[in-house]
Structure 1
Amino acid sequence: MEGIFFCYSPTMTDLISAALANPINRAILTRLPMLGAPDAWLVAGSIYQAYWNALGGQPVTAGVKDYDIFYYDPSDLSYEAEDAVVRRAAMVFADLDGLIDLKNQARVHLWYKDRFGADWPPVASAKESIGRFQVRCTCVGLQPKADGTLELHAPYGLDELTRGELRANLNCPNAAGITAKSESYRERWPWLRIV
C-alpha cells in the first residue's frame, strides 16, 4: 500500500507509515472493503501503538493486543446482524495472527451500560465513535477509500500524539479507568506524559 495516501503533514505521513509497517494493519486495510460493512475503519491501538513503537525503536507490532474495527450500520441493530459481519471478518482475516475486535457502532449504546456501567449515547457514524476514546491522542482511525488512498480521521489532531501527551477526552462518556489506561501506556512508552 505504498503511496496510497495523500500527505498533509510529516506527522500524518509518519503515523500512516508506522501503521502500514505493521503487516497485520496493512492486510486489514487492504481487505476491509471485502467485509461489505458500511463506514468501516481500523481504529485506535494498532495505529497509535505502531507510531509510538517506531518512535521508541521497538517493533511496530510490540504490545498490540488486538485490532479494532469500527463500522456503522443502523439498518439492523440486532446482535445477529453484527455477528454475521463478525463471522465474515473471521473468514476474511483468518490467516492473520491477531485478534480482530469488530463492533457496529450503531448498536454500542444498547449494551455498553451493562458491560461498563456507564451510558453511551447513540452515535451517527463510526467517526463519531472514534472521537470518544478515553485518551484524546488515541482517537485515530484509518479507512481505505475506493481510489486506493487512506483517509485518516484524528478529530483532535495529531499534536498530542506526536508530543506523547495523554489527556483525558471530555467527549468520552465513560472516563473511569483513564488513569490506569494512561499508566499502562507509560509502562510501555515511559516518555509519554499525563497532562
Structure 2
Amino acid sequence: MPGRVPVAGESDALRAVLGQNEVLVEVMERAAALALPGWYVTAGCLFQTVWNVVTGRPPTNGIKDYDLFYFDRSDLSWAAEDAVIRAGREVFGGLPGEVEIRNEARVHLWYEAKFGVACPPYVSTEAAIDSFAATTCCLGVRLEPGGAWSVYAPHGLSDVFDLVVRPNPVLAPREVYEAKAARWKSEWPELTVLPWPG
C-alpha cells in the first residue's frame, strides 16, 4: 500500500533481490569506502533490478547507470562536486556500468534550467529521493558500517515488486514522468503505468 515505509520483511526481500545484481552490490561496497555524507545508491538501478528479477530477466537488463547521491552543503561549488566525481571515477573504475555521482545539496542551482521548474534547496539526500517523478523511484539503499543494509523507501515497496509505476507530482513536471514511464514500459512491457493526476 503506498504511503508507508517498508516493514522488515520487505527490506529483507529487497536485499535478496538486489543481491542478484552483482554490479550493484559492488557499487554499494565501493560507495561505502568513499564514505560520502548522507550517501545512497538510488533510482533506476534499484527498481529496475527488481523488475528484472520479478520478470525473469538478467538482473542488469536495461540498467543504464548507477546513481550515487550524497549531501554536502559545506561547499556548493561545481569544483567541489567535480572533485568527488573524479575521485569516484577512480573508485568505480573497471565496473561494467557507469556510476553517476551527484551532490543533492547543489540540485537547486541547476534544476530549473534543465527541467523548467524551480527546485527549492534540499535539506537531505532523503528529501531529494522524495521528489523523484514516480513514487516507484523513491528508493535508496546504502551499506552502514558493519555491512548492514539501510533502506529508504518512503512509499513502501509494494509498487516496486508489483511492477506499478505511480506518479509523484511534487516537483518533476508531467512530461518528465510520462517520458520516463514510456521508456520503462518499452523495456518492461509488464509494467502498469498509472496516469498523471488530472
Alignment-derived partner of residue 116 in structure 1: 115
2:106 is the counterpart of 1:125: no
Q: Distance in 1 between matches of 2:8 and 2:180?
A: 30
1:186 maps to which residue?
185
| d(CA) in 2 for partners of 1:114, 1:120 | 10
CA distance in 2, matches of 1:79, 1:164: 37
What aligned pairs does 1:14-163 form with structure 2 within 5 A after superposition?
14-163=13-162
SS in 2 for 1:21: coil
* Range that drifts further, 182-191 or 141-150: 182-191
Q: What is the CA–CA distance in structure 2 between the aligned matches of 1:172 and 1:18, rounded to whole Å?
A: 29
Distance 1:20 1:194 in 2: 26
Determine helix, strand or coil for the equivalent of 2:141.
strand
**Secondary structure in 1 aligned to 2:170?**
coil
Q: What percentage of residue pairs aligned between the two structures are identical?
A: 34
Q: Does structure 1 retain, via aligned residues, the 8 Å contact 2:54–2:161?
A: no
Residues in 2 aligned to 1:173 and 1:186: alpha-carbon distance in whole angstroms: 19
Letter in 2 for 1:62: N
Alignment-mate amino acid for residue 72 of structure 2: D
- What amino acid is the match of 1:8? A
Asked if structure 2 preserves the Cα contact closer than 8 Å seen for 1:15 and 1:47, the reply is no
For structure 2, list consecutive stretches of 5 or more residues without a partner in the other structure. 1-6
| C-alpha contact (below 8 Å) 1:119/1:173 kept by paired residues | no
Task: Confirm or deny: 8 A CA contact 2:30 2:91 kept in the other structure.
Answer: yes
Unaligned runs of 5+ residues in structure 1 are: 1-6
TM-score (norm 2): 0.90
Q: Could you tell me how far 1:137 is from its partner in structure 2? A: 1.1
Structure with greater contact order relative to length (CA < 8 Å, sep ≥ 6): 2
Q: Deviations over 1:8-47 (max 9, x none)?
A: 11x3323222222111111111111222321111001111
* Preserved CA contact (<8 Å) 1:19 1:46: no
Q: Quote the Cα distance in structure 2 between the aligned partners of 1:153 and 1:112.
A: 23
Aligned length in residues:
188
Give the RMSD, CA atoms, in angstroms: 1.4
1:189: how far off? Answer: 1.7
Cα distance in 2 for partners of 1:177, 1:33 equals 31
